[in-house]
A and B are shown apart, each in its own frame.
Chain A
Amino acid sequence: MQRRWAPVVAGSALVVAGSSIAGLYSFRGDVPIVFVGFCLFVAGYFVARDGWAVLSPFEYAVDGVESSVRTEHPVIRGGLGLVGILGIAAGVTQFSLTVVDPSVVGAVQAGVYSVGGYAWTHVVIHQSLF
């Protein structure tokens, strides 16, 4: 399959911007902004992976383009995915706050939130744990 590079570049820019926002604001304890950062990250990942068609999931589904985003319930799937991303955002924010105020319990808690959010999101989107 021939790869189109423009979506890869644009998606990568979104990934870098999103993860930078998430990293910087996690140390301020700002979960909503960290959540936005991770949403940008995930959007960038899909654009880099599947191209521009990801930006219009309904048409994407109708066209039957091969992708894990393809589904008869894109809104519900997207909503469930956002729950997982929120878990990741909460986990990474907890991690950063634990760095500022060290606590083994806090670090383990951050790991469980992050890993749980990742696993939830991946199972919803890909039907597999990884």
Chain B
Amino acid sequence: MSSTSLPDRRHVGFLLGLAATSLGLSSGFIWASEGRAVRVVVAASTAWFGYLAAHYAVTGRLLDSESRSTDGFGGREALDLEATWQYGAVVLGVGVLISGMVIGAVYINRGDHALTNLGGALFLGGYVIAHYGATRELL
């Protein structure tokens, strides 16, 4: 059975994968600030494999390959989008992403893993919103 016929499983995989990425990213920054190298490596692994799982869940590919391949350099046309709402989504997403960084900075400083994850979730959520606006794909 193809993954496209199982939207619920796809979305669960997407959310679980991104949750792992948020956990890894958030706790990883706290441990990096404390200089705990081994834990940072564990956190980085969690974040990366969570991203791969989330990407696979919604696209059927581990990483973008065939769909983004083109020759030449990016110019102004690289910023052209088909619909006006897409520009709004990109701006909104980037704003949410930056708000996640601001919140993350505050709670990493306090060593608060749970609330740093709020920043991590906003950071990744903003990325997904902006990515969807630009490409109409979640990741």
Looking at A12, A16, A50, A72, the one whose CB has the most chain B CB atoms below 10 A away is A16
Whole-angstrom distance between the Cβ of A115 and the nearest chain B Cβ? 6
Contact A24 B40 (CB under 8 A): yes
Question: Which B residues lie within 8 Å of A12 (CB)?
Answer: 48-49, 52
Assess whether B2 is interfacial by the CB under 8 Å rule: no
**A98 contacts B105, C-beta separation under 8 Å:** yes
The docked-state distance in angstroms from the alpha carbon of A88 to that of B63 is 20
Chain B residues, Cβ within 8 Å of A80: 73
Decide: B32 and A67 in contact? CB cutoff 8 A: no
- A81-128 interface with B by 8 A CB criterion: 95-96, 98-100, 102, 104, 106-108, 110-112, 114-115, 122-128
Interface of B, helix, strand, loop or mixed by DSSP: helix
> Which residue of chain A lies nearest to B103 when distances are taken between CB atoms in the complex?
A107
Complex contact B70–A68 (CB within 8 A): yes
Within 8 Å CB of A20, what residues of B?
28, 32, 37, 40-41, 44
Say which residue of B44, B102, B130, B134 sits within 8 Å of A107 (CB atoms): B102
CB of A128 within 8 A of CB of B135, answer yes
- Bound: A111/B103 CA distance, A: 12
Determine which of B45, B68, B101 lies in contact with A95 in the assembled complex, contact meaning CB atoms within 8 Å: B101
Contact call A1/B74, Cβ cutoff below 8 A: no
* 17 cross-chain CB contacts under 8 A: A1-B66, A12-B48, A15-B48, A16-B48, A17-B41, A20-B32, A23-B32, A23-B40, A27-B33, A27-B35, A66-B66, A80-B73, A102-B105, A124-B74, A126-B68, A126-B78, A127-B73
Chain A contact residues, CB within 8 Å of chain B: 1, 3, 8, 12, 15-17, 19-20, 23-24, 26-27, 45, 48-50, 66-68, 70-73, 77, 80, 95-96, 98-100, 102, 104, 106-108, 110-112, 114-115, 122-130
- Beyond A48-B62, A127-B72, 4 additional pairs, beta carbon < 8 A: A23-B32, A102-B105, A108-B98, A129-B130
